[in-house]
Amino acid sequence: MWLLLNVCVFCLLQCGEGQDRATLWRGNDRSGHCQYTFTVPSPSETSCPPTASGGPEMEGLKARLSLLEVLVARLTGGKTGGPGLGAGAGSQAGLKEALTQAMGERSLLQGEKERLERDVEGLQRRVEEMKRETERLKSRPCYPQPPLVPPSVPLQDSGLRPAGGAGVLSHLVSRPGRQGDTGSLRDPAWQYGGNAGFQELKAEVTEVPAPSTEDQEDSTGCGELISIGEPVSHRKADSIAGKYGVWMQDPEAVVPYGGKMVWRINTVGSEVRQLFGYEDMDQLSKGFPSKVLLLPEPVESTGATLYRGSLYYQRRRSRTLLRYDLASESIAARRDLPHAGFHGQFPYSWGGYTDVDLGVDEQGLWAIYSTNKAKGAIVVSQLDPHSLEVKRSWETSIRKNSVANAFVICGRLYTVASYTAPNTTINFMFDTATGQGKQVALPFRNKYRYNSMVDYNPAQRKLHAWDNFHIVSYDVRLGHQ
């Protein structure tokens, strides 16, 4: 570089006075090195002879022009329209397409990441809940469990015999040697803080006044309801789909399913069609279904029931009743319930589209509903279990939306006053034999404070209920006719 400077100084000296228009230019060449260029007018030549390459000045000019064209193309988005820039415009379009695709993939990945983060948060909350529940159970003392009933008292007189002739409360206890047996029920609410037999007998003695000799329990026939026992929990639903539901056992079971088979439907959702079957109460408490059926038409609310090998239920958003045969897994009969309100016209007080409630007692199949003609009062109708035809109907004096639930025992309709109050009552009874109704006040407990289903099982003499995710049952006592 110093040699070039010396040459330039010499040229300036040789040019003499008047030749002071020399210029100095500094810039980077193509390889990025700094280059100094002096320009001095020729004292004798008016123009330079042409050369093949054009000289270093021309090469530098071309390089700067090319760089300028690239910069202009980038600034204008490739829309220069000049010759020689087609390749740059194509590259720009390719880059834009690649950028758009990358941004789309980034959005998808971001959405997946957020979903996974929500799932992880939910699992972490579940783990924390399980840890707290484990600590709570660890802190509970374990008590020895003496025999529930003294040997001198016959089981058939104690009012504690489960269905099917099993041992006392054996249908609530896990069976060893079965798949998935954990040695205890998974529902922590079932655990008793003391003697289970004592608590059950205490409920029968202390919470209900001693009946008179005129109301002694008749274990062989029908009678008026005189008391309801404490709720016994069998299982808690695992998800929000089980907040409301219905569970059933067939009081007159036929092949291929026996009377111990338990059926369950979670009724939260717009297309409720799954029917879960369990071999017995033990498998229900463990959550191991042996059968899952997909119903051909969706279920409306919690009013389904089971009778003589068929599931009876209301089709969603209609007054149509369906009889689903469990053996053939098909619809065996369908019929509209005449003039019945549906889908929120005449529900129970808790809502849930409970316009039509089906049930079974010692006398057969019943429907509890209302009509415009009845102006919202409860209508109870006895149905033909084969054809679903109405055999006879009675109109009561109590409004359907003023009670939380209803069921039929021995041809008598009973209503539950509240679905949330922990200590409520059976507040009304209507006798279809006489056509007369009356106010009653039988204590009834909503242990989990949101009871969305109460049905009677005549074979077991129990009420089945679904109370805020919990599947529960109640023993009942009846007086003689």
Residues 6 or more apart whose Cβ sits within 8 Å of residue 430: 378, 380, 394, 396, 398, 412, 413, 436, 437
Rounded CA-CA distance 154/138 in Å is 36
Report the C-alpha gap between 246 and 475 in whole angstroms: 18
Question: Do residues 394 and 360 lie in contact, with contact meaning Cβ atoms separated by under 8 Å?
Answer: no
Would you give per-residue pLDDT tens digits along the chain (481 residues)? 544 445 444 444 454 444 456 677 777 776 777 877 767 777 776 666 655 455 666 666 777 777 777 777 777 665 444 444 455 566 667 677 778 778 777 777 888 788 888 888 888 888 888 887 787 777 666 555 444 444 433 333 333 333 334 433 333 333 333 333 433 334 333 333 434 333 333 333 334 444 443 444 444 479 999 999 999 999 999 889 899 999 999 999 999 998 899 999 999 988 999 999 999 999 999 999 999 999 999 999 999 999 999 999 999 999 999 999 999 999 999 999 999 999 999 999 999 999 999 999 999 999 999 999 999 999 999 999 999 999 999 999 999 999 999 999 999 999 999 999 999 999 999 999 999 999 999 999 999 999 999 999 999 999 999 999 999 999 999 997 5
Quote the CA–CA distance of 213 and 210 in Å, as a whole number: 9
Where do the H-state alpha helices sit in 196-257?
196-206
Question: Residue 84: which region, alpha, beta or left (left: phi > 0; alpha: psi -120 to 50)?
Answer: left
Which residues are CB-neighbours of 351 under 8 A, at least 6 positions away?
A: 344
List 330's β-bridge partners, or say none.
325
Count helices and strands (H / E) in the chain.
Answer: 6, 23
**Cα torsion for 121, 124, 125, 131, to the nearest 10°?**
180
